[in-house]
């Protein structure tokens, strides 16, 4: 039972159907609040536990009034893969990857968009907008198409992964490539959605979208049969996801489903790491990065809009934040593909790169159970994968040539009797 929207700073309250993205009094972020006693009563009458793992298994926990309007492409229910071979290399006995690339458009954004676009429909919006480093635009474009809404996406000029761009284009969004970086594009859509009140904004500043993304935490609890992991490692860009996952865990504890909470551990790329810097220096503020850089274009974000929620999640959970270099990211991407058969995009591999660094420097203990979230599918960015792999060898269409190329010894053919 949602009750209202509330500012995380001054606690000002707003009605659930008011379109508001920042607190009007202090300008801070909003979050959706619930009456948990009412929710428990509702759950008692609901058959939610019989619904297969997915975002809408948790519909009672979602801020939607009219479930007949759900806009879904069957999101969530992603695999939790136990990584025995990678775990062995790192000396970890309980290592899992929650692979969000298994969502309909290939990233965790779909969890948020199914709820955010449903909310847009409920509010009667006719058009939606976002700024994006790629995955948000791909996801919003798909859900807008499903709902029959007009969709505009602003992407930064220069580097955005080709797979993501192709998605936004084929789903029929108006794709604008802004001469500037992501932070500048986000600033424009924030202003635009204030100016044109009929355009609904679906960046992670939108607290309804974040509610969908909290389902990742619920799923982890259910997949691990309430054995909450000691640590959850998440790539951090604009910082909505780590905040959403933390909210999910705290709600499950509030409801008495779990007893303990994981240490939330955020990973950023060295060239785009304002949150990791704030955590390391113990600061209450972030210093935005003017010109963010990293090969992991999805998280090339210098002024993360949800930084305060993320810093709270990390500090309140006893977690930490770490930075990783582009080399570490690419090495981790290759390693995960080659020892676990899981192909993720570079930004997603930052959680693995961060895990390796934190295990090696002793911050993550070998007895911990760890879940790394991999946020997007490897096919989002095939160019990077091709560039860093061995090129195919060209050979004649002859057995002998293939044997040579594969390093097989020539054998005398055994004659049929």
Pure H helices in 171-239: 182-195, 207-213, 215-223
Residues that contact ligand AN7, how many (by CB under 6 A) = 21
Pure H helices in 274-345: 274-281, 307-316, 326-340
Q: How far apart are CA 63 and CA 1, in angstroms?
A: 8
Which residues is 130 bridged to in the sheet? 153
Rg (CA), the chain: 22
C-alpha triplet 373, 306, 350: angle, nearest 5°: 30
Which residue lies nearer to ligand AN7 by CB, 39 or 298? 298
Q: How far is the CB of 109 from ligand AN7 (least distance, A)?
A: 6
Q: How far is the CB of 83 from ligand AN7 (least distance, A)?
A: 19
User: Contact between 299 and ligand AN7 (CB under 6 A)?
Assistant: yes
Q: Let me know: does 259 contact 268? Beta carbons within 8 Å.
A: no
Among 114, 133, 206, 323, binds ligand AN7 (CB under 6 A): 133
* Binders in 366-395 for ligand AN7, by CB under 6 A: 375-376
Listed ranges 56-64, 323-331, 340-348, 392-400: which one lies at the site for ligand AN7 (CB under 6 A): 340-348
Among 54, 72, 206, 348, binds ligand AN7 (CB under 6 A): 348
Pure H helices in 6-153: 36-45, 84-90, 109-122, 135-147
CA dist 182 to 115, 125, 290, 303, 400, Å?
23, 25, 11, 9, 53
User: Contact between 204 and ligand AN7 (CB under 6 A)?
Assistant: yes
Specify the residue for token string 């500048």.
Answer: 184
Q: How far is the CB of 160 from ligand AN7 (least distance, A)?
A: 9
Q: Let me know: does 251 contact 61? Beta carbons within 8 Å.
A: yes
User: Contact between 298 and ligand AN7 (CB under 6 A)?
Assistant: yes
Among 154, 175, 347, 356, binds ligand AN7 (CB under 6 A): 347
User: Contact between 274 and ligand AN7 (CB under 6 A)?
Assistant: no
Q: Let me know: does 70 contact 64? Beta carbons within 8 Å.
A: yes
Which residue lies nearer to ligand AN7 by CB, 54 or 350? 350
The string of DSSP codes covering 164-182 is HHHHHHHTT-EEEEESS-H
* Binders in 138-177 for ligand AN7, by CB under 6 A: none
For the chain, give the number of residues.
Answer: 417
Q: How far is the CB of 92 from ligand AN7 (least distance, A)?
A: 22
Which residues is 31 bridged to in the sheet? 6
Q: Phi and psi at residue 263, in whole multiples of 5°?
A: -80, 120
Listed ranges 38-46, 130-138, 284-292, 397-405: which one lies at the site for ligand AN7 (CB under 6 A): 130-138
Q: How far is the CB of 90 from ligand AN7 (least distance, A)?
A: 21
Q: How far is the CB of 292 from ligand AN7 (least distance, A)?
A: 12
Which residue lies nearer to ligand AN7 by CB, 114 or 133? 133
Give the pairing type, strands 320-324 and 263-269. Answer: parallel
Among 110, 251, 340, 345, binds ligand AN7 (CB under 6 A): 345
* Binders in 234-253 for ligand AN7, by CB under 6 A: 235-241
Which residue lies nearer to ligand AN7 by CB, 39 or 265? 265
Among 99, 136, 320, 323, binds ligand AN7 (CB under 6 A): 136
Contacts of 283 (CB under 8 A, 6+ apart): 277
Q: How far is the CB of 202 from ligand AN7 (least distance, A)?
A: 10
Listed ranges 68-76, 286-294, 342-350, 408-416: which one lies at the site for ligand AN7 (CB under 6 A): 342-350
Q: How far is the CB of 306 from ligand AN7 (least distance, A)?
A: 7
Give the pairing type, strands 231-235 and 369-374. Answer: parallel
């Amino acid at each position: 039972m949602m009750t209202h929207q509330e500012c995380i700073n001054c606690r000002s309250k707003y009605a659930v159907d008011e379109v508001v993205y920042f607190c009007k009094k202090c300008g801070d972020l909003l979050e959706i609040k619930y009456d948990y006693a009412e929710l428990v009563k509702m759950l008692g009458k609901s058959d939610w536990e019989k619904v297969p793992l997915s975002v809408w298994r948790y519909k009672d926990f979602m801020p939607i009034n009219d479930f007949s309007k759900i806009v879904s492409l069957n999101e969530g229910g992603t695999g939790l893969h136990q990584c025995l071979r990678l775990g062995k290399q790192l000396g970890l006995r309980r290592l899992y990857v929650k692979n969000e690339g298994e969502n309909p458009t290939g990233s965790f954004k779909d969890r948020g968009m199914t709820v955010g676009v449903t909310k847009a429909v409920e509010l009667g919006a006719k058009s939606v907008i976002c700024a994006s480093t790629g995955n948000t635009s791909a996801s919003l474009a798909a859900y807008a198409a499903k709902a029959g809404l007009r969709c505009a996406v602003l992407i930064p000029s220069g580097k955005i992964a080709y797979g993501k761009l192709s998605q936004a284009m084929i789903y029929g969004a108006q794709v604008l490539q802004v001469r500037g970086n992501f932070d500048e594009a986000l600033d424009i859509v924030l202003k635009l959605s204030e100016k044109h009140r009929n355009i609904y904004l679906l960046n992670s500043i939108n607290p309804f979208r974040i509610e969908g993304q909290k389902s990742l935490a619920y799923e982890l609890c259910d997949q691990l049969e309430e054995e909450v992991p000691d640590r959850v490692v998440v790539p951090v860009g604009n910082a909505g996801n780590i905040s959403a996952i933390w909210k999910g865990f705290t709600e499950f504890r509030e409801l008495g489903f779990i007893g303990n909470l994981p240490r939330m551990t955020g990973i950023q790329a060295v060239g785009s790491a304002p949150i990791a810097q704030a955590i390391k220096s113990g600061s209450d503020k972030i210093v935005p990065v003017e010109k963010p850089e990293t090969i992991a274009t999805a998280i090339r974000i210098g002024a993360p809009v949800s930084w305060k929620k993320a810093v709270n999640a990390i500090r309140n959970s006893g977690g930490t934040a770490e930075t990783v270099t582009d080399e570490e990211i690419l090495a981790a991407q290759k390693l995960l593909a080659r020892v676990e058969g899981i192909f993720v995009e570079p930004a997603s591999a930052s959680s693995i790169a961060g895990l390796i660094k934190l295990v090696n420097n002793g911050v993550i203990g070998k007895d911990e159970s760890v879940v790394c979230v991999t946020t997007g599918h490897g096919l989002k960015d095939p160019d990077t994968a091709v560039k860093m792999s061995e090129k195919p060898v060209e050979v004649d269409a002859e057995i002998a040539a293939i044997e040579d190329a594969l390093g097989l010894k020539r054998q005398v053919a055994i004659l049929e009797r």
